[in-house]
Amino acid sequence: MPTLHTIDGSLLCDHHKIAIVATRFNSFIVNNLVTGALDCLERHGASQEDITLIHVPGAFELPLVCQKVAKSKRYDALIALGAVIRGATPHFDYVCTEASKGIAQVMLNYEIPIGFGLLTCDTIDQAIERAGSKAGNKGVEAALAMLETLHVLEQL
């Protein structure tokens, strides 16, 4: 009987260079995502000198800076962290759409994993829930997804 060939990504962070790109906008939320991502990376083997934390003004700037980081070829993977919270105008929709589309485009264009830790929430409460309380910490989830994808790509 033929054996199934499977490819799985480990969650180890062994001497990989990781860039975290995080927004200053809604920093009271995003700082918790950053803390979660850093804690996760370190628990999975990363040392601080392998991690670079880059701040950008808001989610709209995430794609450009992620692209510049990817283009530099100095990093093996990225984590994009931010929080967009709906206001009274359609601004939310434009920022969310462009940020998520742009980050996905960088990932595909440069074949580099980007953990997607951009919260897109209707309320501040929803954002708090996802930044280290009731609904976990999306910074941790983004870091884990990035590590798994990185190790899958290395085997392809």
Structure tokens at 43: 């628990």
Residue 23 or 32: which CB sits closer to ligand INI?
23
Measure the CA–CA gap between 47 and 85, rounded to whole angstroms.
Answer: 32
CB of 92 to ligand INI, least distance (A): 6
Residue 21 or 46: which CB sits closer to ligand INI?
21
Q: How far is CA 54 from CA 20, 39, 92, 124, in A?
A: 6, 16, 23, 24
Catalytic residue of the set 44, 55, 91, 151: 91
39 sits in the region (left: phi over 0; alpha: psi -120 to 50; else beta) called alpha
CB of 29 to ligand INI, least distance (A): 9
CB of 7 to ligand INI, least distance (A): 35
Residue 45 or 58: which CB sits closer to ligand INI?
58
Structure tokens at 11: 């969650």
CB of 72 to ligand INI, least distance (A): 22
Q: Of all residues in this chain, which one has the CB nearest to ligand INI in the complex?
A: 58
146 contacts: CB under 8 Å, gap ≥ 6: 18, 77, 78, 79, 113, 114, 115
Measure the CA–CA gap between 123 and 23, rounded to whole angstroms.
Answer: 18
Active site residue 55: no
| Residues engaged in binding ligand INI (CB under 6 A) | 23, 25-26, 57-61, 82-85, 87, 91-92, 95
**Catalytic positions, please?**
91
